[in-house]
């Protein structure tokens, strides 16, 4: 019934390749099916100005999509002179999500910038960016620990994300593009490794949804997140 033949609660193939960019303190290429996102983490010695003198650090994210990551070419945001609303919304979400797994006092007065650039898009790019961004962040934190610039681990838990939606009247896990564009309700769920909720964003442009549909999607999300966290563990080990 799903275009890919997947079961309602079946994730696409997950692959996380680490250390793909030699300059970055942490990096990975995450592939969720045909969605490929390159994530790098860059450590900066100074925190953003609003944190100067507080002893706290910061984690922020930027998101981009290569012009031909999609079926038809998108205008390059650098050339058009501004980031689209969608881009800004996504990168704010990634930053908030990753910070939920960070002890900012342990990080100290520095900033880690996580860049998530979509090489190829097939639905779920923001979720892949969060899941892969966490791996890059984890690897950068390892470098800080190894160099003894910080002494206690600033990463408090895994952070991973997955999309779910009502497709063809059924709750399905990990929407690919053709499902996403046809879905009545569409949700993104960010959870910690221990299963607590960090972000829930559910949206219905067409038909409104019920409380029970919401809970069915959450069930799917919890099962998907378990697989993503497991893939993160394999990648960083």
Instruction: Determine, following the binding rule CB under 8 A, whether residue 220 of this chain makes contact with a second copy.
Output: no
Which of residues 182, 214, 223, 230 is near a second copy by CB under 8 A? Answer: 214
Instruction: Determine, following the binding rule CB under 8 A, whether residue 208 of this chain makes contact with a second copy.
Output: yes
- Nearest CA among 171, 181, 221 for reference residue 8: 171
Q: According to the annotation, is 70 in a ligand binding site?
A: no
Instruction: Determine, following the binding rule CB under 8 A, whether residue 67 of this chain makes contact with a second copy.
Output: yes
Distance (Å, whole) CA 231 – CA 237: 10
Residues 6+ apart with CB under 8 A from 131: 16, 30, 32, 159, 160, 161, 162, 228, 231, 232
Instruction: Determine, following the binding rule CB under 8 A, whether residue 105 of this chain makes contact with a second copy.
Output: no
Instruction: Determine, following the binding rule CB under 8 A, whether residue 199 of this chain makes contact with a second copy.
Output: yes
Min CB(202)–a second copy separation in Å? 4
User: 61 — phi, psi (to 5°)?
Assistant: -140, 150
- Nearest CA among 210, 206, 24 for reference residue 117: 24
Distance (Å, whole) CA 37 – CA 19: 13
Interface positions, 114-133, toward a second copy (CB under 8 A): 115, 117, 119-121
Instruction: Determine, following the binding rule CB under 8 A, whether residue 203 of this chain makes contact with a second copy.
Output: yes
Which of residues 28, 173, 198, 235 is near a second copy by CB under 8 A? Answer: 198
Distance (Å, whole) CA 36 – CA 42: 20
Instruction: Determine, following the binding rule CB under 8 A, whether residue 169 of this chain makes contact with a second copy.
Output: no
Instruction: Determine, following the binding rule CB under 8 A, whether residue 48 of this chain makes contact with a second copy.
Output: no
Distance (Å, whole) CA 225 – CA 163: 10
**Residues making contact with a second copy (CB under 8 A):** 21-24, 27, 34, 38, 40, 42, 44, 62, 64, 66-73, 76-79, 81-83, 85-89, 91-92, 96, 99-100, 113, 115, 117, 119-121, 187, 191-192, 196-206, 208-211, 214-215, 218
């Amino acid at each position: 019934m799903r275009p890919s033949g997947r079961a309602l609660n079946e994730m696409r193939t997950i692959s996380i390749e680490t250390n793909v960019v030699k300059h970055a303190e942490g990096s990975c290429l995450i592939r969720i099916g045909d969605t490929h996102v390159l994530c790098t983490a860059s450590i900066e010695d100074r925190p953003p100005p609003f944190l100067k003198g507080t002893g706290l650090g910061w984690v922020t994210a930027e998101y981009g999509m290569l012009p031909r990551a999609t079926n038809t070419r998108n205008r390059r945001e650098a050339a058009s002179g501004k980031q689209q609303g969608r881009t800004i919304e996504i990168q704010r979400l990634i930053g908030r999500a990753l910070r939920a797994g960070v002890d900012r006092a342990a990080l100290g007065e520095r900033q880690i910038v996580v860049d998530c650039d979509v090489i190829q898009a097939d639905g779920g790019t923001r979720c892949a960016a969060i899941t892969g961004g966490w791996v890059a962040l984890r690897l950068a934190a390892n470098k800080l620990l190894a160099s003894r610039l910080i002494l206690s681990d600033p990463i408090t838990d895994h952070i991973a994300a997955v999309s779910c939606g009502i497709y063809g009247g059924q709750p399905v896990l990990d929407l690919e593009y053709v499902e996403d564009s046809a879905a009545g309700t569409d949700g993104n769920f960010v959870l910690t490794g221990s299963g607590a909720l960090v972000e829930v964003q559910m949206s219905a442009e067409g038909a409104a949804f019920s409380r029970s549909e919401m809970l069915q999607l959450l069930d799917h999300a919890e099962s998907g997140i378990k697989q993503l966290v497991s893939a993160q563990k394999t990648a960083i080990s």
